[in-house]
Amino acid sequence: MKALVTGGGGFLGGAIVRALLRRGDEVRSFSRGDYPHLAELGVEQIRGDLQDSLAVAGAARGMDVVFHAAAKPPPWGPAAEYDAINVGGTQAVLDACRAAGVKALVYTSTPSVVAADGHVEGGDESLPYGTGFFGADYPRSKALAEQAVLAADSSGLRTVAIRPHLIWGPDDPHFLPRFVAKHRAGQLARIGDGDPLVDCVYVDNAADAHVLAADKLLAGADVGGRAFFVTNDEPIGLWTMVDQLLACAGEGPVTKRIPAGVARTVATIIEGIWRLFGIASEPRITRFVVHQVSHAHWFDISAAKDLLGYKPSVSTEEGLKRVAAAWPGRPG
């Protein structure tokens, strides 16, 4: 099939590109930058911004399926940017798909769209969308975008949302580099007394789920207009996982601790100061992050297994070995 991947030069987008190429699919990437490694793979690259509807429309032309993985990531930034990129950009993708006669759209969402005040243990897709999102604009904007994508499902354009949880793996530009930097600076501490269960997903497994969803949509399976949680299906203590990832980089473990109540209070104060003075840089701590690292959040992925045929192919143990082998400066 002919597939467009928005954010094809990114972490997950790149994994989706590679998964498609391994099958012999024809792949086009739409990103703001130019990526030599994609050119080496024979991927057609179109440079553009999601806020440029004409550029998005041009990129979608001639495609059978679009994987919309590009987004403004968490955890911090102006609300207007999250709305323009994550909500407005997704609407531009939807409009482009309709105009170009694209048959299927697979949207990369996040489990944080259903953020709850307490623990989420074995939650499934019946969970309602969140409301306050602890003042975070990333999950709020992703929830709005996901709802627009699912509402757009029709006979002309089949749509589905994949909710991969805490994606990690080699070349991860988000979690591990941040953990390592904060640990080296003495700024990384366990929040709360426990080790809440979470269920992450290795990047190649997340990519596989996206491709499976596209195949199901194109085959006419009854999965359109639905969202699916995707994980490694191996719940693990969050701080245990952090320590294991840090060990891959020759760092850790995390020994400092901060009471969750203290962390929430500090985060509330810092966020207020940042917003009052319009500070653009990311705060050291936010309420959203405090909630994420002090509460259990793991999900029942039966729907993805049963309806998409999803099965994690890379275990957490194997994934950690790959991360360690790929970390710069460590022996392979």
Residue 53 lies in a domain: yes
Q: How many whole angstroms separate alpha carbon 70 and alpha carbon 8? A: 8
Which CB contacts under 8 angstroms, 24+ apart, belong to 122-130?
Answer: 122/298, 122/299, 122/300, 123/229, 123/297, 123/298, 123/299, 123/300, 124/229, 124/299, 124/300, 124/302, 124/303, 125/226, 125/227, 125/228, 125/229, 125/303
Residue 332 lies in a domain: no
**Sorting pLDDT into bands at 50, 70 and 90, what band is 284?**
confident
Residue 228 lies in a domain: yes
CA distances to 9, 20, 183, 196, 318 from 162, in Å: 19, 16, 31, 23, 23
To the query of whether residue 138 is one of the catalytic residues in this protein, the response is yes
Query: In whole angstroms, what separates CA 192 from the centre of its chain?
Result: 25
Residue 126 lies in a domain: yes
Q: Indicate the pTM of the whole model.
A: 0.95
pLDDT score recorded for residue 174:
83
Residue 71 lies in a domain: yes
Q: How many whole angstroms separate alpha carbon 272 and alpha carbon 284? A: 13
Q: CB neighbours of 161 closer than 8 A, spacing ≥ 6?
A: 106, 107, 108, 109, 146, 149, 150, 226, 227, 228
Say how many domains are in the chain. Answer: 1
Residue 112 lies in a domain: yes
Cβ atoms of residues 112 and 134 within 8 Å? no
Q: What is the DSSP string of 134-197?
A: GG-HHHHHHHHHHHHHHHT--SSSEEEEEEE-SEE-TT-SSHHHHHHHHHHTT---EESSS--E
Q: How many whole angstroms separate alpha carbon 99 and alpha carbon 111? A: 30
| Per-residue tokens: 44 | 């057609």
- For the stretch 52-97, pLDDT in tens is 999 999 999 999 999 999 999 988 889 999 999 999 999 999 999 9
Residue 9 lies in a domain: yes
Residue 147 lies in a domain: yes
Given a cut of 50, whether residue 115 has pLDDT beyond it is yes
pLDDT score recorded for residue 75:
81
pLDDT score recorded for residue 195:
96
> CATH no. for residue 245?
3.40.50.720
Q: How many whole angstroms separate alpha carbon 73 and alpha carbon 82? A: 9
| Per-residue tokens: 230 | 């995707």
pLDDT score recorded for residue 332:
46
Give the structural domain span for 302: 2-326
Beta-ladder partners of 141: none
* Active-site residue identified among 107, 138, 202, 310: 138
CA distances to 262, 275, 289 from 136, in Å: 19, 12, 9
Q: What's the whole-number average pLDDT of the chain?
A: 94
**Sorting pLDDT into bands at 50, 70 and 90, what band is 227?**
very high
pLDDT score recorded for residue 330:
59
Q: What is the mean pLDDT of residues 217-225?
A: 97
* φ/ψ (deg, to 5) at 63: -95, 150
Range in 20-34, 96-110, 166-180, 211-225 with the lowest mean pLDDT: 166-180
